[in-house]
């Protein structure tokens, strides 16, 4: 059998997502900026998707802009806010465990003269709120913290963090990278004090190449893409109608029977963690506060005496698909900053795999992966030690 356990990298699109995308490509293919009927038909898909997504967040449709994915959403939020608010200050706060799509634009802003504070996290990946508050200065304009860590599933209490930030300096803008959180949690930006929120389509059984950015009404932000002034000038370029329609459908489906879906993910996680903890030389990372306080779909585990790449490919030969750290950076092998930040032992940094589930993952897949691990690990370790 096959066990696809790399859903934090990407999920398989729902059938309904494929159907609506095919319809927009074969039948309703107009340019949404065109004034004739074909254009109006295409524009209606965008309106519908925007309404579905806005309803899922309890925000206004006008506060949603579509992007090419999570990376563009994060870049737009960080660079757009920094450029629009630089007269108010040049200090940005983020963490040491952010995804590269936040980390690298922050480095870009540093090169432009902005000052950045990188917050520590504890062994469970939690932000030190005292350090956060101590870091806030008169010239702080933006705080960016991810909701769910993509490598080990740490979850931040974004509402408490936002309250602490705004109690100290109310005009600081709070951006949340929710790429691994949307679809797993009921997110309410207005209640949770989130000013900007980034989401990607292909993490929730939607298509690749599409995402959105929630921008709270009245937030000062500059576009980073200029052209035909689509999406009220915030993101020029002809809209990706098939992608938008597919993402809207995915958002609708992922939040249907949501509690049941999340419960299923936690059952899978508990099953895998219990199995891993029975294997000699395996450490499950970041679950010190209990599985229920981590994301339901991500497990990080370190395997003593085996390089992650060797184990990953050995599992692949048995049709078990996992990831070594973040899939987005797997083409640039380096020791994970996230694992270092949570204090994973040096000798295990290059021995860690990420297992991640979707609502379509089955218990049989988990059991099959555990059987394969139990078969492969003694053999690989014997080879390594000789």
Assess whether pLDDT exceeds 80 at residue 213.
Answer: yes
Query: pLDDT band at 385, cuts 50/70/90?
Result: low
Say which of 84, 137, 328, 372 is annotated catalytic: 328
Supply the mean pLDDT for the chain.
95
Beta bridge partners of 117: 93
Q: Over the stretch 187-207, which tens digit does the pLDDT of each residue have?
A: 999 999 999 999 999 999 999
Between CA 210 and CA 371 the distance in angstroms is: 36
Between CA 296 and CA 119 the distance in angstroms is: 24
| Least confident segment among 112-121, 157-166, 346-355 | 346-355
Note the pLDDT of residue 56. Answer: 98
Note the pLDDT of residue 327. Answer: 47
Residue 125 CB partners (closer than 8 Å, separation 6+): 97, 149, 152, 153, 154, 286, 338, 341, 342
Q: Is 328 a catalytic residue?
A: yes
Mode of pairing for the β-strands spanning 140-146 and 91-95: parallel
Structure tokens at 238: 């002809």
Helix (H, G, I), strand (E, B) or coil at 155: strand
Structure tokens at 328: 């987005």
Q: Over the stretch 35-91, which tens digit does the pLDDT of each residue have?
A: 999 999 999 999 999 999 999 999 999 999 999 999 999 999 999 999 999 999 999
Between CA 339 and CA 307 the distance in angstroms is: 15
Between CA 178 and CA 199 the distance in angstroms is: 6
Q: Over the stretch 120-169, which tens digit does the pLDDT of each residue have?
A: 999 999 999 999 999 999 999 999 999 999 999 999 999 999 999 999 99
Helix (H, G, I), strand (E, B) or coil at 66: strand
């Amino acid at each position: 059998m096959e066990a696809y356990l790399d859903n934090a990298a990407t999920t398989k699109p729902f059938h309904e997502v494929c159907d609506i995308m095919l319809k927009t490509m074969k039948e309703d293919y107009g340019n949404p900026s065109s004034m004739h009927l074909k254009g109006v038909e295409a524009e209606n898909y965008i309106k519908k998707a925007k309404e579905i997504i806005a309803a899922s967040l309890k925000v206004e449709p006008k506060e949603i802009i579509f992007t090419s994915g999570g990376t563009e959403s994060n870049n737009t939020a960080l660079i757009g806010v920094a450029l629009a608010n630089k007269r108010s200050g040049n200090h940005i706060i983020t963490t040491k465990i952010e995804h590269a799509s936040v980390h690298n634009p922050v480095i870009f802003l540093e090169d432009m003269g902005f000052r950045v504070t990188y917050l520590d996290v504890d062994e469970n990946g939690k932000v030190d709120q005292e350090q956060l508050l101590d870091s806030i200065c008169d010239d702080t304009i933006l705080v960016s913290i991810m909701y769910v860590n993509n490598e080990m599933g740490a979850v931040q209490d974004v509402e408490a963090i936002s309250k602490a930030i705004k109690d100290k300096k109310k005009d600081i803008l709070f951006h949340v990278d929710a790429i691994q959180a949307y679809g797993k949690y009921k997110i309410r930006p207005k209640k949770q004090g989130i000013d900007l929120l980034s989401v990607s389509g292909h993490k929730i059984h939607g298509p690749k190449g599409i995402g959105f950015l929630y921008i709270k009404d009245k937030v000062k932000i500059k576009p980073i893409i200029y052209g035909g002034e689509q999406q009220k000038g915030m993101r020029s370029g002809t809209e990706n109608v098939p992608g938008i329609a597919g993402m809207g459908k995915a958002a609708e489906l992922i939040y249907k029977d949501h509690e049941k879906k999340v419960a299923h993910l936690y059952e899978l996680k508990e099953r895998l963690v219990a199995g891993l903890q029975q294997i000699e030389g395996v450490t499950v990372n970041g679950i010190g506060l209990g599985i229920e306080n981590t994301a339901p779909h991500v497990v990080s585990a370190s395997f003593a005496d085996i390089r992650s790449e060797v184990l990953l490919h050995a599992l692949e030969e048995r049709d078990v698909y996992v990831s070594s750290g973040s899939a987005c950076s797997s083409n640039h092998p380096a020791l994970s900053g996230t694992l270092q930040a949570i204090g994973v032992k040096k000798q295990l940094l290059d021995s860690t795999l990420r297992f991640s589930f979707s609502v379509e993952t089955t218990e049989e897949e988990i059991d099959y992966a555990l059987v394969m691990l139990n078969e492969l690990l003694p053999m690989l370790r014997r080879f390594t030690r000789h």
